[in-house]
Structure 1
Amino acid sequence: LAGYVGGAVLKTRDHAAIGEALWIVAAAAFGGSIALIGQMYHLTGDEASALLTWGAGTALAAVALRSNPLTVVSVGIADAWLLLKWGGFFRRSEFPHLFAAIVLVLFAISFWTRSQAARHLIILSVLFYLVLLSMDHNTLQVSVPLALVSALLFAAAVFAAEPVDRIVQLGGRLPLHALIGFLTGMAMVQFELADEASYNGAFAIASAVALAAIVAAIMLGGRESRGLRWVAYAGFAFELAIIYVVMLQSMLGTAGFFLAAALLLGTMALVIIRVEKRMNTPRSEGALA
């Protein structure tokens, strides 16, 4: 009560930072109270249920106070609940599909609280949820739709940037999230096909698709987002590593692979330098003009 009311009073007196900090302290005190009372009175339940209650209370406080930081804290608590429910001591046989409904509610709350940071975290949390889902179910049934939907979102975010960002309000960073989603989906596909790489060409096809998509992402969205370019470069490095690990048995030797990899990386470095210069030149000229 002191944290929430005191923070609200401070916010109305132009002490927004201290007020938000008190709200976070109040949310933490609520979680600590759940744990303390449960221990004192030996209440039945488990840690996952306590986290769910804590997250619901924090989300309610975020709505009532229209707090950006409390919304982010609510998403973090939901992620902790997902991880504990999926792999904790009290794990049940069923997968925690409730998380999908939780993030939908939190995503809606983020618009009310004007929390762009929470929306970014929610999208990354959904990717984490899908990775866990693929580990418990058929990997290809999760990873292939993830890669396809991410590619469609990337295309929509690039070719219809303004109307799409007006809807999702991610500050123009939807292409970055879409690329992360695509690379995550393709990585899961490649891991699933890795064991069949020696007698099945599906792994090679998936790798070629991933590499081509990385190049396309740099050319289509790299100019507007330096973060997207770095994610694409990291994706290329990952592709190089996984191709080496999986396909090593069918190559003449490790030395030959490293020679080819060095030549490929050198070529890519030259291309990247040229692309970076070309992307930065128009901005510099525009600034001078």
Structure 2
Amino acid sequence: QMYHLSGDEASALVTWCAGTALAAVALRSSPLTVAAVGIADAWLVLKGFGFYWHAETPHLFIVVAIVLFAISFWTRSRAARHLVILSVILYLVLLATDRETLPVAMSLAIVSVLLFAASVFAGDAIDRILQLGGRLPLHALLGFLTGMAIIQFELADESTNNSGFAVASIVALASIVAAIMLAGRESRGLRWLAYTGFAFELAITYSVTLRSMLDTAGFFLAAAVLLGMLALVIIRIEKRMKAPAGTGAAA
């Protein structure tokens, strides 16, 4: 303002993020790295949802995310790496809503499946590189569920005319079961994310396919029954997952 330089909130956030990142590098500070990622996320959200400007997806964010991910290795900030991955998923969600929805969502789901498979079958080697503490399967499952949810929302209106929604729902449910079987025992967080995804799949599938045939009372009654059944399934799975550990401890 003193020198009458032009600028806006977006430029201020980008400059703030750059300064914080430089400070993180200079001080080798993990908290500052996390702060830089948080500022970049604020810029992404404000820009993507159009709080101060015309809503558009800031594609420069991918470059920023890559730089901050690289910096996190120097500053030894595992939390920042996790946050960067979550931020990239958010960026892809904004990109899907802003541009071609199905291609972006399908790409997110496919890449997530590949990352999940790699993390399961070559987990130690990948974790030595990415240093995520074995949490890559969790991120991959979240990315897959996000991509499939976008696909299902996009196909929901067309479900009466084609089988695309049904196919997407079957793929999502089968993949959730596979994720629990392949990596559920090692990660309680992954199991609960899978349970949440399974509940969402039941809800959206039931809502799209059956709600129009039932009145409101019947809809909520059936939903309660489904959630009760899901709770019983979760309890049985959790007991089965914990049983070997308990047996080993007793021995």
Global fold match (TM > 0.5): yes
**Structure 1: distance between partners of 2:220 and 2:172:** 21
- Runs of 4+ in structure 1 over 6 Å off: none
Question: Does the 8 Å contact 2:24/2:75 carry over to 1?
Answer: yes
Please state how far the C-alpha of 1:265 moved relative to its aligned partner: 4.0
Alignment of 1:36-51 (within 5 A): 38=1, 40-51=2-13
Alignment RMSD (CA, Å): 1.9
Displacement after TM superposition at 1:102 (Å): 0.5
Distance of 2:224 and 2:63 partners within structure 1: 47
**1:44-83 aligned within 5 A:** 44-83=6-45
Which of 239, 242, 258 does residue 201 from structure 2 map onto? 239
Could you tell me which residue of structure 2 aligns to residue 12 of structure 1? none
- Give the counterpart letter for 1:148 in structure 2: I
Structure 1 alignment gaps of length 5 or more: 1-37
Q: CA-to-partner distance for each residue in 1:133-170, whole Å, 9 max, x for gaps?
A: 01110001100010011011111111222111111111
Are 2:215 and 1:270 aligned?
no
**Corresponding residue number in structure 2 for 1:35:** none
User: Deviation string for 1:90-135 (max 9, x for gaps)?
Assistant: 337x641110011000000001110000001001000000000011
Which amino acid in 1 is paired with 2:192?
Answer: W
Q: Structure 1 residue 236: deviation in Å? A: 1.3
Note the C-alpha offset of 1:250: 5.6
Q: Which residue of 1 aligns with 2:68?
A: 106
1:194 aligns with 2:149: no
User: What does the per-residue CA deviation read over 1:43-76, in whole Å, with 9 as the maximum and x for residues that have no partner?
Assistant: 3110000110110011011011110000000000
Tell me, yes or no, if the aligned pair for 1:218 and 1:232 is still in contact at 8 Å.
Answer: yes
Q: Does 2:100 match 1:138? A: yes
Quote the Cα distance in structure 2 between the aligned partners of 1:218 and 1:258. 28
**Quick one: which amino acid aligns to residue 185 of structure 2?**
R
AA in 1 matched with 2:54: R
Is 1:90 aligned with 2:63? no
1:225 pairs with 2:187: yes
Letter in 2 for 1:63: V
Residue pair 1:58, 1:73 contacting (<8 A) in 2 also: yes
- Deviation per residue, 1:226-252 (Å, 9 max, x gap): 111111111111112212322235646
In 1: Cα distance, 2:57 partner to 2:239 partner: 48
Using structure 2 for the length normalisation, give the TM-score. Answer: 0.92
Instruction: Report matched runs for 1:175-190 at 5 Å.
Output: 175-190=137-152
Larger Rg: 1
% identity of equivalent residues: 72
Who is 2:123 aligned against? 161
Amino acid at match of 1:170: L
Q: Secondary structure at the match of 2:16?
A: helix
Q: Give unpaired runs (5+ residues) of structure 2.
A: none
Query: Which residue among 198, 207, 210 is the counterpart of 1:248?
Result: 210
Q: 2:112 aligns with which of 150, 157, 160?
A: 150
CA distance in 1, matches of 2:74, 2:66: 13
Give the TM-score of the pair, scaled to structure 1.
0.80
CA 1:286–1:249 in 2, change beyond 3 Å: closer, same or farther?
closer
Structure 1 pair 212–255 and aligned structure 2 pair: CA distance change class (3 A): farther
Partner Cα distance (2:219, 2:171) in 1? 21
- Distance (whole Å) between structure 2 residues aligned to residue 256 and residue 83 of structure 1: 39
